[in-house]
Amino acid sequence: MSEELVVYMNIISPYSRLVMSMLALLDIPHKERVIDTSRGEQKKEWYKKINPKMKIPAIKDGDHIMAESIDICKYLIESRKLKTPAWPVDDRDRNEQMEKDLADFEDLGEATMAVAYKCFYNKVFGKKLASAEETKQYKEDLYKVYDLSEETLSERRT
Footprint on this chain of ligand GSH (rule: CB under 6 A): 13-15, 37, 42, 54-57, 68-70, 113
Q: Which residue, 121 or 146, has its beta carbon nearer to ligand GSH?
A: 121
State the minimum distance, in angstroms, from the CB of residue 97 to ligand GSH: 20
Q: Which residue, 38 or 151, has its beta carbon nearer to ligand GSH?
A: 38
Q: Which residue, 70 or 89, has its beta carbon nearer to ligand GSH?
A: 70
State the minimum distance, in angstroms, from the CB of residue 57 to ligand GSH: 6
Give the three-state DSSP class for 99: helix
State the minimum distance, in angstroms, from the CB of residue 17 to ligand GSH: 9
Q: Which residue, 53 or 83, has its beta carbon nearer to ligand GSH?
A: 53
Closest by Cα among 20, 19, 21, 16 to 36: 16
State the minimum distance, in angstroms, from the CB of residue 40 to ligand GSH: 7
The one-letter amino acid code at 10 reads N
Cα 146 to Cα 13: distance, rounded to the nearest angstrom: 21
Q: Which residue, 39 or 83, has its beta carbon nearer to ligand GSH?
A: 39
CA angle (79 as vertex; 74, 83 as ends), nearest 5: 70
Cα 9 to Cα 30: distance, rounded to the nearest angstrom: 12
State the minimum distance, in angstroms, from the CB of residue 157 to ligand GSH: 28
Name the H helices within the chain. Answer: 14-26, 45-50, 69-79, 92-104, 106-113, 132-156
Cα 3 to Cα 63: distance, rounded to the nearest angstrom: 9
